[in-house]
Amino acid sequence: MVYKIGETVEYMSGDCEALMSNKLGKVTEVSSDNFDEVKVTENGELVYWSKKTKSYRPVKEKDMHTIYYTIESPNVKYVEYVEPSAIVGTSPRLAGESAA
């Protein structure tokens, strides 16, 4: 699944299995280890800028492991860089809003 900038997501964070916990944060950027420029289009497609074709091209499944999201959370002092596989999904709650 592709997440847009500004969406609130629930994600897993922690240095090891014993420290893993769910967190809530807002996507502020999408990046890649392979591509210089990556973005999410209006229709939710993940694309990268191709220097060869001088146009945006869809990210292929084989390159998805190079994609990561920058997520800001109000209860964390620094941004976190999260792989798509660590994102549980979108949340109807806003980051910083407490559960009822």
17 versus 62: which is more confidently predicted? 62
Query: What torsion, rounded to 10 degrees, do the Cα atoms 66, 22, 80, 44 define?
Result: 50
In a domain, 98, yes or no: no
- Residue 16: CB atoms within 10 Å: 6
Sign of the CA dihedral with 95 first, then 59, 68, and 32 last? negative
In a domain, 100, yes or no: no
In a domain, 95, yes or no: no
100 falls in which pLDDT band (50, 70, 90)?
A: very low
pTM, two decimal places: 0.81
Contact call for residues 66 and 35 (beta carbons, < 8 A) = yes
Is 97's pLDDT higher than 60? no
Give the number of domains in the chain. 1
Domain encompassing residue 61: 8-90
pLDDT score of 91: 79
Alpha helices in the chain (DSSP H): none
